[in-house]
Amino acid sequence: MLRQSFKLVIITSAFVLNSHPAIPLASEMTVTSQTSSNNLVANDSNTLPLHLKISLSDRQVTLYRGKTQIKSYPIAVGRQGWETPIGNFQILNMLKNPTWINPFTEKAIPGGHAENPLGNYWIGFWTDGKNWVGFHGTPNPDSIGKAVSHGCIRMYNHDIKELFHQVDLGTPVTVEP
């Protein structure tokens, strides 16, 4: 009899637990907001993917979440003969205090060194297997806004630090003329 009562309690408990509607966790809930046209719009801005769009002619990179512009940053781009590649890419690697290797002499300047032209952050998005193109800081802030690099996207040091902490490996990068 005790076994039958125990089985009945388990079956009843399972029935009661399964008969109640699921209560979503706070992180699963969709917040809605009222628009001027009185339509409800789901706010899923935290679930939309991030992507970067580089405008070479405007010398700026813009961070988007879905179609919403988050922030734009001024940049320097590749100079003639070392143009920044155009197309659709994704972030392939991210380094803090990257070592810079001179493309002509192959001399290395360690990360964190005052003479390192990459600054303290690197976000790589293109490679041909030998050379890399990516976002990085610069010890020469006067170069921002100009076509002066070896194809890379130079940023102010405080801007690359901010961007580094917002994106991840795999984040799409579009480079437009």
Answer whether 83's CB lies under 8 Å from 151's CB. Answer: yes
β-pair partners for 101: 108
| Residues belonging to the active site | 136, 152
Cα–Cα distance, 51 to 45 (Å, whole number): 13
- Pairing state between β 153-154 and 121-127: unpaired
β-pair partners for 14: none
Cα–Cα distance, 51 to 54 (Å, whole number): 10
Continuous segment of H or E residues that includes residue 14: helix 2-19
